[in-house]
Chain A
């Protein structure tokens, strides 16, 4: 009888929530569509930067004043293009997309005298794309400087190695998957929010909404045990949250095709395997968050009041994953005990292709179970006590 009551409540609440088409559509748009969209935009930006990097062109104002430099650039197979008039203004407005190298009038004569001529790299911090090009131009000029210095030393009979006290070489230890994860950090955040927003409306409607409609009192006058009612409601809310989260996970699969850049799509590894791993990680969180939302909303007299209270939960869940960003020490052991933070960290590991040992999964599972159980017990107690308006 009690099991049947749980099932009856679950089926009704699920049906009710899924018929709320307008709310569902809004949630789908905000939680499911935004992730891939952001991904596609970032992909376009990175693709653009890459294209410029491959182009090997440099904008120079006054190249005719520096034949030596022009010669060097030509030998490095760089194409020199004259800077457009009014480039400063274009840079300020973020329209140019590349820094501009300015050659002084006395370049050649200063070089001949052995004095360092001043080369200006004009860029603007507000032009993100030009910022990326700055490093390349600097490296190019460093090469020119080194060549000139080596020539001068050679003329004086000194070995060029005398200038090179140390040699610096970079070696990036992160493999392709780990580098891709940096960019894919966005994905866990969007998926977390999808769970929350999916569960939010259903949770408020089934508690505060029920009270506001005046249907809570008749419901409590049926012989169905109160824990069965709470359990059925919770299961339905968690199912809706999980459904939205699953859709959000799957939405990143086609999102990958939108990535224009080849390197990006090679780095951003998000396939069926990752989507499934995400879903498994999110399942306990969907349960715990649904229970928490029910607990927050159960005492509220109206939907509006409940929405205000639920804002705290929404804020916590969106801020918690940022702890890893601000914390200089990186991931800590205790992070795995905090719901939302743990899932965000574990999803990050899935994206890096790192293994997920049981020892790391259990704390988050235990924490979610505990939080969920406490919240549900609270909801059942409130229902038992203050059923009446």
Chain B
């Protein structure tokens, strides 16, 4: 379970007189529970990536806190990270290592021994349908192959919580469907708590149990897809989303 409570964060862009203050997060609150897929839906620049980076302990918030299974990310980042698998928008692999070596390396960094990590790499490869890739160097992998390897790397320690930042970016239809299927299986078979951010409507409609609409660093609305459609009062989900996320523009 991931609980985000009143996150605030501002960035200063530029220096001196030309400096511009951007309020990326302005009291963001939501809760993602186990066995459900929670989608963070919002336009570009709404603060989704910032929130997920704070959750992963990469940057410190100005206020508020994130806890993972009750562990506070701010005060015990390493314990929190051990309970979390994060696929951020930088998914660089080591081109001179094989997919298996990339995955096993992260296993070692999570404190697993070589045999354990290797067994886990094989299991993940089976789940993600990437066995033929396992012993190839990642140099020259396609976007979909890269994403699978990066996801396997993020899940090597079998974390109960999974955080994905725009995971379908740059993927074709087949890869996107395969990823969706994987996430459903992780939810249903292992009861994982899954949070993912996106700005793509269909993704949310097809996959999410709970949707959190983020706008200007705040939660504009939250609920199931059906509830939000009613709440927004639009003809379809997209219309409702626009009304919820951009109240001024819709009027």
Do the two chains bind? yes
Of A8, A19, A214, A389, the residue contacting B105 (CB under 8 A) is A8
Query: Which residues between 3 and 55 of chain A lie within 8 Å of chain B, taking CB atoms?
Result: 4-5, 8-9, 12, 15-16, 19-20
Q: Quick check: B92 and A221 within 8 Å, CB to CB?
A: no
B92 adjacent to A20 (CB under 8 Å):
no
Which of the 9-residue segments B34-42, B81-89, B179-187, B208-216 touches chain A? B81-89
Give the Cβ gap from A7 to chain B, nearest Cβ, in Å.
8
A-contact bits for B69-96, CB 8 A (1 contact / 0 none) = 0000000001101100010101111111
Give the interface segment out of A82-90, A222-230, A369-377: A222-230
- Contact: B105 with A221, CB < 8 Å? no
Chain B nearest CB, measured from A306 CB (Å): 16
How far apart are the CA atoms of A12 and B81 in the complex, in Å? 21
- Chain B residue nearest to A5 (CB atoms) is B109
Q: Is the CB of B92 within 8 A of A220?
A: no
Asked if B97 and A15 sit within 8 Å, CB to CB, the answer is yes
- Kindly state the separation between the CA atoms of A225 and B59 in the bound complex, as whole angstroms: 15
Contact A388:B53 (CB < 8 A) given known A19-B96, A20-B96, A216-B90: yes
CB-based contact B81/A213 at 8 Å: no
* Among candidates B86, B96, B111, residue contacting A221 with C-beta atoms closer than 8 Å: B86
Contacting residues of chain B (28-83) with chain A, CB-CB under 8 angstroms: 53, 56-59, 78-79, 81-82
Given contacts A8-B105, A218-B153, contact A210 B111 (CB under 8 A): no
CB distance from A145 to the nearest CB of B (A): 73
Instruction: Check if A221 sits within 8 Å of B82, measured CB to CB.
Output: no
Contacts of A215 in B (CB 8 A): 90, 92-94
Nearest CB to that of A389 among chain B residues?
B90
Q: A residues within 8 A CB of B88?
A: 217-218, 221
A210 to nearest B CB, angstroms?
A: 7
CB-CB under 8 A from B111, the residues of chain A are 1, 4-5, 223
Question: Beyond A218-B154, A222-B110, A223-B111, is A16–B94 a contact (Cβ under 8 Å)?
Answer: yes
Near B by CB (< 8 A), chain A positions 181-212 give: 210
Contacts of A9 in B (CB 8 A): 109
Instruction: Determine the residue in chain B with the shortest Cβ distance to A213.
Output: B92
CB pair B108–A4 under 8 Å, yes or no, is: yes
When distances are taken between beta carbons in the complex, the residues of chain B under 8 Å from A225 are 78
Contact B58 A220 (CB under 8 A): yes
Q: How far is the CB of B75 from chain A (nearest CB, A)?
A: 14
Does any Cβ of B come within 8 Å of A153's Cβ? Answer: no
On chain A, the residues within 8 Å of B2 by CB distance are: none
Main secondary structure of the interface of A (DSSP, over half): helix
With A16-B97, A217-B58, A218-B153 as known contacts, state yes or no: A223 contacts B90, CB within 8 Å: no
Of B53, B101, B109, which one neighbours A223 at CB under 8 angstroms? B109
Please give me the residue from chain B that is nearest to A229 by CB atom.
Answer: B109
Contacts of B79 in A (CB 8 A): 223
Contacts of A80 in B (CB 8 A): none
Is B150 in the interface zone, CB < 8 Å from A?
A: yes
Q: Is B106 positioned at the interface, with any CB of A under 8 Å from its CB?
A: yes
Known interface pairs A222-B81, A388-B53. Does A217 touch B90 (Cβ–Cβ under 8 Å)?
yes
Q: Which residues of A contact B153 (CB under 8 A)?
A: 218
The residue of chain A having its C-beta at the shortest distance from the C-beta of B82 within the complex is A223
* B57:A221 contact, CB within 8 angstroms: yes
| Bound Cα distance A221, B86 (Å) | 7
A222-B78 Cα distance, complex, nearest whole Å: 8
The answer, yes or no, to whether A122 is at the interface (CB within 8 Å) is no
- Which residues of chain A from 296 to 351 have a CB within 8 Å of any chain B CB? none
Chain A residues packing against B (C-beta within 8 Å) = 1, 4-5, 8-9, 12, 15-16, 19-20, 210, 213-225, 387-389
Q: Which 4 A-B pairs have the closest CB atoms?
A: A215-B92, A214-B92, A214-B90, A8-B108
- 22 A/B residue pairs, CB under 8 Å, sorted by A: A4-B108, A4-B111, A5-B111, A12-B105, A15-B97, A16-B94, A16-B96, A213-B95, A215-B92, A217-B90, A218-B86, A218-B150, A218-B153, A218-B154, A221-B58, A221-B88, A222-B109, A222-B110, A223-B81, A224-B110, A387-B59, A388-B53
